């Protein structure tokens, strides 16, 4: 007896749905839906309900964060040579400002010339 392809596809989808729901239940994740007409939140699918996504309880999310520390450092790594270079540049800028050796801005030296003719 040959089973039609449509029946096999439907059976495969149903089995995948069961597997996903079992995995979701094992992780205590919650699938939420929103009614498009009333904007109410529901835990089960139904008419006019749009899936919002899978959500995890706050306690479980906090446990996941503390259980798996990040491999990246929290603060950026700065080299000592870079800091010394920046410090020297800032020291020079402060000294120039204190002595008044700063260049004038273009707006301070702007000049307008022209002629006015009337009848």
β-bridge mates for residue 41, sequence order: 34
Q: State the residue for tokens 């205590």.
A: 28
48: tokens are 């006019």
Give pLDDT tens digits for 31-73: 888 888 888 888 888 888 888 888 877 776 666 666 656 666 6
Residues 67-117: tens digit of each pLDDT: 656 666 667 677 888 888 999 999 998 888 888 765 667 777 778 888 888
Q: How far is CA 30 from the centre of its chain?
A: 22
CA distance 3 to 12: 13
Q: Which ranges in the chain belong to alpha helices (H)?
A: 5-26, 58-67, 80-99
pTM of the shown model: 0.31
**Residue pair 33/45 in contact by the 8 Å Cβ criterion:** yes
Measure the CA–CA gap between 42 and 56, rounded to whole angstroms.
15
Distance (Å, whole) CA 117 – CA 119: 7
CA dist., res. 77 & res. 14, Å (int)? 50
């Amino acid at each position: 007896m040959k089973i039609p392809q449509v029946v096999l596809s439907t059976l495969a989808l149903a089995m995948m749905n069961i597997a996903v729901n079992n995995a979701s239940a094992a992780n205590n994740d919650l699938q939420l839906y929103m009614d498009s007409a009333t904007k109410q939140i529901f835990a089960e699918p139904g008419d006019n309900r749009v899936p919002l996504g899978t959500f995890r309880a706050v306690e479980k999310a906090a446990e996941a964060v503390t259980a798996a520390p990040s491999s990246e450092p929290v603060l950026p790594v700065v080299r000592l040579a870079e800091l010394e270079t920046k410090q020297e540049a800032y020291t020079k800028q402060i000294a120039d400002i204190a002595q008044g050796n700063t260049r004038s801005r273009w707006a301070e030296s702007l000049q307008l010339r022209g002629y006015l003719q009337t009848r």
